[in-house]
Amino acid sequence: MIDIRLLRDDPERVRAAIKAKKAAVDFDRLLELEVRRREVITQIEELNARRRQASKEIGARVQAGEDPEEAKAAVRRLGEEIAAAESEQRAVIAEFDALILTVPNLPHETTPLGTSEADNREIAAWGEKPTFDFEPKPHWELGEALGILDLARGSKISGSGYYVLKGAGARLERALINWFIDVHTREYGYTEILPPFVVNSKTMTGTGQLPKMAEDMYRVGGMTAEGYVAEDAWLIPTAEVPITNLYQDEILEAEALPIRHCGYTPCFRREAGSYGKEVRGITRVHQFNKVEMVKFVQPESSYEELETLREQAETLLRRLGLTYRVVQLCSADLSFAASKCYDLEVWAPGMGIWLEVSSCSNFEDFQARRANIRYRPGTKEKPRFMHTLNGSGLALPRTVIAILETYQQADGTVQVPEVLRPFMGCERLGGAS
């Protein structure tokens, strides 16, 4: 949530940010509500002062032996006016609180302005696109031939957008998850978290998924005697949601920061839509696994921490020997909650496209305000909102796709990246290992 003071002090900056992110916000109405909210507060304060004065008038008239009924009637009228003003205040605050949640975070000054993903900027790259002396196959052909990927049965048991990994395919994904977690915890000092995979609406609102992206999320419900009832429960779209909200409504001491957590979870998203090559195979699915890195830091260090976060995600790709590029997102392609974001895209030679496997974002204090996560800079200082960041480290199954397509051999086997061999217990998938 943006700082409400910005609406009063610099509304045009907020309006420009909304336009830059191509967000749908009734901003004029929001400004009207902010003005009316302050007017009603002043009105109630003035009415209460007048009622206190009228109440004193009752006592003065009684002491003077005069009829107090006129003063009593004035108190009653003022009470009715106060009740009406308080009712309006509740309505204004409710509408304001709902509308302010639709305002996106402001892009950082270093975020390029743009109107679509075409305006994103490639700022770094690593590795060379692999070449083959045979026609490279896409992962769905490789996986089916090796008996490690079953798209048909995934669709049969769950519907479109689901898949099954078998044997060495399941072991490969598990090996990646274990290796990612080991690197983050043992080398980078993250604390591993295994959170619930179901969260409530307050938690989804805290990180910015609600209300904007409700249609893209899976809500949990059940059958009752009255029929289907939706519960206050949602399947998580990413580990960012439960891990960031671990500290909702808490005040931490400055000495505790930075806090660095990582965690594996499945991720559930209703959106799977795109056209062209990305529809094939397991590139866009409704359920996938991901290891997430989440940071809680003091504002002064958050952009330094963003660069470190990005470097940690890049290191995984380099150690896997996968060709990748770093893209800084423009304002229009930036997520609702992010102020600045880097996407790491890996090259999939069988498909001939770049695939995003990590997004590293700084949310500044946007999520902290929504989730009420604060820290106390000093013993006698007022609590402040901290900055939160997160980055995929890394997302599956696209990392699996890149490995299968990059390390495929002419005989149909796939070499296992060296860093994964201790976890896999083999050097290749298919053939003699």
- Measured between alpha carbons, how far is 299 from 284 in angstroms, rounded to an integer? 35
Give which of 79, 21, 33, 37 is closest to 54, Cα–Cα: 79
Q: If you average pLDDT over residues 138-149, what whole number do you get?
A: 97
CA distances from residue 426 to 320, 327, 335 in whole angstroms, order as listed: 15, 34, 40
Q: What CATH class has 5-100?
A: mainly alpha
The predicted pLDDT at position 275 comes to 46
Whether 272 has a pLDDT exceeding 50, the answer reads no
Query: Topology of domain 117-429, per CATH?
Result: BirA Bifunctional Protein; domain 2 (3.30.930)
Instruction: Report the pLDDT value the prediction gives residue 380, as an integer from 0 to 100.
Output: 86
Condensed to tens digits (0 to 9), the pLDDT of residues 55-83 reads 888 888 888 888 888 888 888 999 999 99
Q: pLDDT band for position 274 (50/70/90)?
A: very low
Is pLDDT above 80 for 273? no
SS3 42: helix
Report which DSSP code applies to 408.
B
What's the pLDDT tens digit per position in 4-34? 999 999 999 999 999 999 999 999 999 999 9
> How far apart (Å, rounded) are the C-alpha atoms in residues 382 and 372?
14
| pLDDT tens profile 99-121 | 999 999 999 999 999 999 999 99
Per-residue confidence (pLDDT) for residue 408, from 0 to 100: 98
Beta bridge pairs of residue 391: 293, 360
Per-residue pLDDT of 306-363, as tens digits, reads 999 999 999 999 999 999 999 999 999 999 999 999 999 999 999 999 999 999 999 9
pLDDT band at residue 222 under the 50/70/90 scheme: confident
Does 224 have pLDDT greater than 60? yes
The pLDDT tens digits for 152-201 are: 999 999 999 999 999 999 999 999 999 999 999 999 999 999 999 999 99
Q: What's the CA gap between 329 and 322, in Å, rounded? A: 21
Query: So where are the chain's domains?
Result: 5-100, 117-429
pLDDT at 63: 83
Strand, helix or coil for residue 17: helix
pLDDT band at 278 (very low <50, low <70, confident <90, very high): low
Lowest mean pLDDT among 24-28, 85-89, 195-199, 271-275: 271-275
pTM of the model: 0.92
The pLDDT value recorded for residue 276 is: 46
Alpha-carbon distance 424 to 168, whole Å? 8
At 432 the pLDDT is 58
pLDDT the model gives residue 68: 83
Q: Which residues are catalytic?
A: 269, 284, 356, 359, 398
Q: What is the mean pLDDT of the chain?
A: 94
Q: Look up residue 126 and give its amino acid.
A: W
CA 166 – CA 290 distance, rounded (Å): 18
Q: List, in sequence order, every beta strand (DSSP E) within 184-323.
A: 191-192, 198-199, 219-224, 227-235, 250-253, 259-268, 287-297
Instruction: Show the CA angle centred on residue 335, arms to residues 333 and 339, nearest 5°.
Output: 100
Confidence (pLDDT) at 277: 43
